[in-house]
Amino acid sequence: MSEEWIVQSLEKLREKKPLVQNITNFVVMNTTANALLAIGASPVMAHAVDEIEDMLKIADALVVNIGTLDEHWIASMEKAVRIAKEMKKPIVLDPVGAGATRLRTKTSLDLLDIGTTILRGNFGEIKALLGEHGKTRGVDSAGYDAGEAKNLALEASKEFNTVVAVTGPIDYVSDGKRVYAVENGHPMLGRVTGTGCMATSIMGAFVAVEEPLRAAVSALVAFEVAAEKAYEESPYPGSFHIKLYDWLYRIDGEIIKERAKVREVEP
Amino acid sequence: MSEEWIVQSLEKLREKKPLVQNITNFVVMNTTANALLAIGASPVMAHAVDEIEDMLKIADALVVNIGTLDEHWIASMEKAVRIAKEMKKPIVLDPVGAGATRLRTKTSLDLLDIGTTILRGNFGEIKALLGEHGKTRGVDSAGYDAGEAKNLALEASKEFNTVVAVTGPIDYVSDGKRVYAVENGHPMLGRVTGTGCMATSIMGAFVAVEEPLRAAVSALVAFEVAAEKAYEESPYPGSFHIKLYDWLYRIDGEIIKERAKVREVEP
Amino acid sequence: MSEEWIVQSLEKLREKKPLVQNITNFVVMNTTANALLAIGASPVMAHAVDEIEDMLKIADALVVNIGTLDEHWIASMEKAVRIAKEMKKPIVLDPVGAGATRLRTKTSLDLLDIGTTILRGNFGEIKALLGEHGKTRGVDSAGYDAGEAKNLALEASKEFNTVVAVTGPIDYVSDGKRVYAVENGHPMLGRVTGTGCMATSIMGAFVAVEEPLRAAVSALVAFEVAAEKAYEESPYPGSFHIKLYDWLYRIDGEIIKERAKVREVEP
């Protein structure tokens, strides 16, 4: 049962308290740092090219999120991914808005070319990266189709040689051979900014303690089950957002076993 | 009755879910993105000069807020306003801290010179832009006088050829001919950072679906009525802030009709 | 009794509503602005070298926090500290992550060399600045030892000619001659990002109305007592964070007298 190793992954995360180095966007820096702290990891945010190497030496994983990129930040991201790869530290990429602008698509592809461990995006973003450039509408999860999402995860994984998580009503996670489907979460996540980015950063914490495919699945299940619990306490976006941190902190093996909707599917 | 078209504006906003492109300050990026999502719009934050054109192609409105400007961001803002104007997309400007420093006053005037659709600021900021440089104290709403505020909205509107909203205990909104007064809101808004910026970004959502004068009035009424409801639930700033998002999500035609304190006044 | 002047400091802060100019990190800009507003001060965030002088003219204190530094921001920080010193405005420095990277250690030392009024950091950060480079783990408060912390505050104060606050389970604050110990607060502060930065920014508000040693102690007591009250209402990190702002707003002389655990200790 997947629930078993998801619970173990969470225990390992809380035991190790991994230090996750983030080069992320201005909108969600606070949000993702708090999500990492709530679940039991330790975040650091550093982007200066002059300190990336020092910071990566002490970090357990690197998360790169292109949400508010510009030329200076792109240089930092590329340097960080390159160094992390050399140091054999896991790398998680969130290609926010890929497809919406050529700069975002190109930057994501350049980073994938250097090499990542996990790529997490919505349907439109991952599709854009696989060549359907120009169909994404901003950072929304438009045009989702479950059957296509599964294939997208599988194909993108092969193409970019990385675990890929395509998130949406049903999330599909693949390492190019196997595919998992996760059906947790709540639509209210779409009414709070940076929830996708939170999921990505939490993958950074899990991949510091677990192999990439399981790390990506565990992060999505933990995050989305926390969202379900949060929504049950607060059905409005401001309060829901706050309760989400509460439940990232409170979530445990028992809740995961009770709530996880995860299954391996035919590739 | 104004209430009728305010309610219709809100309905149109929720129907269209406009994509609002923001070049805003570091302090409020998260805040304004969440305010836009809560009320029913879709935010995107992009500032790289290399992607502004691509992003504006898919955006329904542009919001520019100079709260943490520097030379790089000023270049982005000017390029964005220029392109949005060419594309005939509505532009909302928040001249945060105009009057407090010469850089802020000059940048605001330069952007107004290119052309905006709505200018929203507090009394000191708009007054500084009309030539009373140097009397603003930081980003506070100091020195407010209701009679003068009305004239300020009217005169600034004529001078800068844009709808102007001067916010304060009573807000005045003018297109240079007509003037509306809005008396909703709560002083607790002054104890949470970025509430003025939230109002501005929400104007960006309304002006994507409504003509500018009505858009500015509708945004202020919706935002400030939400603040009143939030305060009734939580009279302390942290909890009030969170409830504000809840009520931006919950606000509807019935609440607006019951609460709106808006009237057209003699210019 | 220390409680007396702490209460008076808070009254002075709320009477004067000091304008605190912050050059701080992207993660906590919103957080620290809201903390300052909640307790009764007025925040401004400006980093452009072209407006620092104008902004400092109207500011009552400067807070510099290196949490997400880069070459552009370092230039702003150095210019700001230099000008504030010339203007004889109090300066508070938070050397976030000193010791974790050489860039952070060097930048902090350079700023201390220009001159600060209060330096607030955790055990590892202050220790790194005193020469034990390389033992800090990110921005965590690792390796804390109470006896050593007291000496660290005292020695760093003499070395850098500034009041020093070493925060941790017991905080030690010294001006190089006297030492105060503060034992308020709650471990949940460690599960919310930027709480150390909040304490630092609140020192900026207190030092605008009080001499530096008392300002640093007053800020820690007020902030940490607010945290205790917040935790009693909400033992989970998201809700705790929100209640923290509520209690920074609600805290008063009576609560401080009842809760403050502060004592002068032998140097």
* Nearest by CB: C238 against A19, A30, A244: A244
Integer Cα distance of C142 and C137 in angstroms: 7
Query: Does pLDDT of C67 surpass 80?
Result: yes
Percent of chain B scoring above 90 in pLDDT: 93
Q: Which sign, positive or negative, has the C-alpha torsion C158, C160, C162, C165?
A: negative
* Parallel, antiparallel or unpaired: strands C42-45 and C61-65: unpaired
Which of A103, A108, A133, A243 is the best mutation test for B, with the most CBs of B within 10 A? A103
Half-sphere exposure of A133 (CA within 13 A, CB side): 10
CA nearest to C26 within chain A: A26
Give pLDDT, residue C137: 45
Which residues of chain C have a CB within 8 Å of the CB of A208? none
Which residue does chain C place closest to A54, by CA atoms?
C101
C102 known ligand binder: no
What digits encode the pLDDT tens for the residues C138-158?
Answer: 444 557 787 899 999 999 999
Report DSSP letters for B149-163, one per residue.
Answer: HHHHHHHHHHHHTSE
Q: Which residues of chain B carry a pLDDT beneath 50?
A: 133-140
pLDDT band at C183 (very low <50, low <70, confident <90, very high): very high
Q: What is the DSSP string of chain A?
A: -HHHHHHHHHHHHHHH--EEEEE--TTTHHHHHHHHHHHT-EEEE---TTTHHHHHHH-SEEEEE-TT--HHHHHHHHHHHHHHHHTT--EEEE-TTBTTBHHHHHHHHHHHHH--SEEEEEHHHHHHHTT-TT---TTS-TT--HHHHHHHHHHHHHHHTSEEEEESSSEEEESSS-EEEE----GGGGGSTTHHHHHHHHHHHHTTTS-HHHHHHHHHHHHHHHHHHHHHH--SHHHHHHHHHHHHHH--HHHHHHH--EEEE--
Question: What single string gives the DSSP state of each residue in A104-168?
Answer: HHHHHHHHHHH--SEEEEEHHHHHHHTT-TT---TTS-TT--HHHHHHHHHHHHHHHTSEEEEES
Is C45 labelled a binding residue?
A: yes
pLDDT tens-digit series, residues C201-236: 999 999 999 999 999 999 999 999 999 999 999 999
| Residue C187 sits at the chain A interface (C-beta within 8 Å) | no
CB distance C228 to C141 below 8 Å: no
Q: What percent of chain A has pLDDT over 90?
A: 93
pLDDT for C84-140, tens place per residue?
999 999 999 999 999 999 999 999 999 999 999 999 999 999 999 998 543 444 444
CA distance C104 to chain B (A): 21
> Is A162 annotated in some ligand binding site?
no
The answer to whether C30 faces chain A, any CB pair under 8 Å, is yes
- Report d(CA A162, CA A154) in Å as an integer: 10
10 Å CB burial of residue B147 (0-12, 13-18, 19+) is exposed
**Chains touching chain A at 3 or more Cβ pairs under 8 angstroms?**
B, C
The terminus-to-terminus CA distance of chain B in angstroms comes to 18
Enumerate residues 96 to 135 of chain A having a beta carbon within 8 A of any beta carbon in chain B: 97, 100-104
Question: Structure tokens of C14?
Answer: 């709320």
Q: Is position B24 annotated in a ligand binding site?
A: no
Higher pLDDT, C31 or A138: C31
Q: Residue C142: what pLDDT?
A: 58
pLDDT at residue C253 in the model: 97
Looking at the complex, report in whole angstroms how far the Cα of residue A217 sits from the nearest Cα belonging to chain B: 27
Token pair recorded at residue A48: 């200066």
The answer to whether C43 contacts chain B (CB < 8 Å) is yes
Are C191 and A38 within 8 A, CB to CB?
A: yes
Q: Pick from B30, B44, B250: which is nearest to A139 by CB?
A: B44
Indicate the residue of B45, B244, B245 with minimum beta-carbon distance to A68.
B45
Query: Which tens digit of pLDDT belongs to each residue from A44-97?
Result: 999 999 999 999 999 999 999 999 999 999 999 999 999 999 999 999 999 999
Q: Which fold has domain C4-265?
A: UDP-N-acetylmuramoyl-L-alanine:D-glutamate ligase (3.40.1190)
Question: Which among C94, C97, C116, C84 has a CA at the least distance from the CA of C202?
Answer: C94
**Set of chain B residues whose Cβ sits within 8 Å of the Cβ of C245:** 236-239, 241
- Write out pLDDT tens, residues B123-152: 999 999 998 543 444 444 557 787 899 999
**Residue C171 CA from chain centroid, whole number:** 11
Sheet hosting strand C171-174, strand order edge to edge: C42-45, C19-23, C61-65, C91-94, C118-122, C163-167, C171-174, C179-182, C262-265
CA-based nearest distance A45→chain C, Å: 7
Of A37, A46, A59, the CB nearest to C191: A37
Q: Which residues of B touch C34 (CB under 8 A)?
A: 192-193, 237-238, 241
